[in-house]
Amino acid sequence: MHILVPLDGSAFSDAAAKVALHLAAAMKAAGDEPRVTGLHVVTVRVASGNLLRDLPGHLGFEPAVVSAEVAAEHLADGQRVVDAFAAQAAEKGVEVTLDVRAGSVPDVIHDASVDADLVIMGLRGETETKFPGQGGRLSALLPSRIDAPLLLVPPQTQSIGSAAIGYDGSDGARRAAKELRAVIGPVDAPIHGIYVGSASAAQPLLAELVEKVAPLRVAQHVTTGQPHEAIMAKAREVGADVVALGFDGHNKLKDFAFGTLTERALLEGSMAVLIA
């Protein structure tokens, strides 16, 4: 498995790094040899001399055009961020590759994720640290731009001890179950399968979930209410560290009327979110 870890030096990023190394160490102990890449995006560059190419950077778009001295400072800061990740990885016995690139953050992460099996990053990042309440743009943008499953981590989550999944039999839920099994299988974390609706309708769907994530342990839960509220409430109640979600829901009308479960989880920020 190739795990890509975008890093920006924030508390969110530090937590993502710890989760990534926790999972990679478990995979290694299980006999796998995960490939882990620590990525830092420098959002400035030196002028190229081409007016058309440099104009967006002069207007404030990423990467901004700056002096050679300022660009060197940003590159040095980025190198320190990935070097700190490498030091943590060495303590865990995990080998990592370091990558520092200049460019637009979403574009660089998209390009770097092409051969990744999993992307682990902060639920928010440096912007949230500097300007509280204004971060989270990447969390909303990336799920529609990258094909790899995306694990978004808040500062309070630094390992995975248990997971929750809202399961309704949709294509999105089946993808989420598949990715959840691949991600947390090596740490042998229990899974809480949550169905919102009647007990009779839940039985065959939760049985399907048990089959899809075997041999992982599954605790089955049936609850009622609006899915985007009830699943997150039950996940918090059982103490899950991560909730796995498909990017699309079963009921498009409810998604439109009430907001998707994915958006709810990202805005709430109470636990890590695995988006398949």
3-class state of residue 218 by DSSP: strand
Q: Do 146 and 219 share a structural domain?
A: no
Structurally, how many domains does the chain consist of?
2
Q: Is the pLDDT of residue 250 over 50?
A: no
Task: List, for residues 195-213, the tens digit of each pLDDT value.
Answer: 999 999 999 999 999 999 9
Question: Does 158 map to a domain?
Answer: no
What span, in angstroms and rounded, lies between the C-alpha atoms of 244 and 83? 30
Task: List, for residues 54-93, the tens digit of each pLDDT value.
Answer: 677 677 777 778 888 988 998 999 999 999 999 999 999 9
CB 251 within 8 A of CB 268: no
CB 175 within 8 A of CB 18: no
Q: Do 210 and 106 share a structural domain?
A: no
Task: List, for residues 110-152, the tens digit of each pLDDT value.
Answer: 999 999 999 999 988 777 677 676 666 777 778 778 889 999 9
Query: What φ, ψ does residue 255 adopt, rounded to 5°?
Result: -60, -40
- For the entire predicted model, the pTM comes to 0.87
* Dihedral-angle region of residue 67 (phi above 0 means left; psi in -120 to 50 means alpha; beta otherwise): beta
Q: What contacts 132, CB < 8 A, 6 or more positions away?
A: none
Q: Of 182, 189, 195, 25, which is closest to residue 94 (Cα–Cα)?
A: 25
Q: Is the pLDDT of residue 249 over 50?
A: no
Q: Do 130 and 211 share a structural domain?
A: no
Q: Indicate which CATH number applies to the domain containing 103.
A: 3.40.50.620
Q: Is the pLDDT of residue 155 over 80?
A: yes
The parent domain of residue 29 ranges over: 2-153
